[in-house]
Structure 1
Amino acid sequence: MYAIVNIAGTQFKVTKDQQLYAPKMQGEAGASVEFDQVLLADDNGTVSIGAPTIAGAKVSGKILDHVKGDKVIVFKKKRRKGYKKKNGHRQQFTKILIENITI
């Protein structure tokens, strides 16, 4: 059984007991969350497609932690002008454990 869920504007294919990194969300570690924007669900070959979402379908999970992603280096340069600028960025993520999918 799997479902395609919209979490914070990003679509994820989730299954039960799966861990995923979603864009940072409100809530502290250990808090439970529910996602009701289920776009598609598959239950052992029976596919349900929403228009745009499936009514009554929910995916529940638990926030495990708030983490930072890998560092991305941003480097800008203009040749022969002496202009160089180097910046780094680490994106904030929320680690989520999917506990249950109900259709």
Structure 2
Amino acid sequence: MYAIVDIAGQQFKVEKDQFVFVHRLQGAEGASIEFDNVLLVDNNGQITVGAPTVAGSSVSAKILSHLKGDKVIVFKKKRRKGYKKKNGHRQSFTKIQIENIKF
């Protein structure tokens, strides 16, 4: 059984007991969170597609930790003009574990 769910503006294919890294979510570590924007559910070959979401279905997860991703370097340059700009960014993520898919 799997589901396609909208979490923080992104769509993820999730299954039970799966670990997922999503954009930073509000909530303390160890807290449970529930997502109602389920777009598709596959229940052992029986596929239910929402319009736009599947009514009455939800995905529950547990927040494991908040962390930062790898550093991404942003480098801009205009040749022969003496212009160089170097900037770095680290995206904040939340690691969650899918506990249950209600259908």
Whether these two folds match at TM > 0.5 is yes
Structure 2 residue identity aligned to 1:58: S
Instruction: Identify the residue that residue 66 of structure 1 maps to in structure 2.
Output: 66
Structure 2 residue identity aligned to 1:81: K
What stretches of structure 1 move > 2 A for 4+ residues in a row? none
Q: CA RMSD in A?
A: 0.5
2:67 paired with 1:94: no
In structure 2, runs of 5+ residues without a counterpart are none
Structure 2 residue identity aligned to 1:18: Q
Instruction: Identify the residue that residue 75 of structure 1 maps to in structure 2.
Output: 75
Instruction: Identify the residue that residue 10 of structure 1 maps to in structure 2.
Output: 10
Q: CA deviation at 1:55?
A: 0.6
Count of aligned positions: 103
Instruction: Give the Cα separation in 1 of the matches to 2:43 and 2:96.
Output: 22
Instruction: Give the Cα separation in 2 of the matches to 1:51 and 1:88.
Output: 40
TM superposition score normalised by structure 2: 0.98
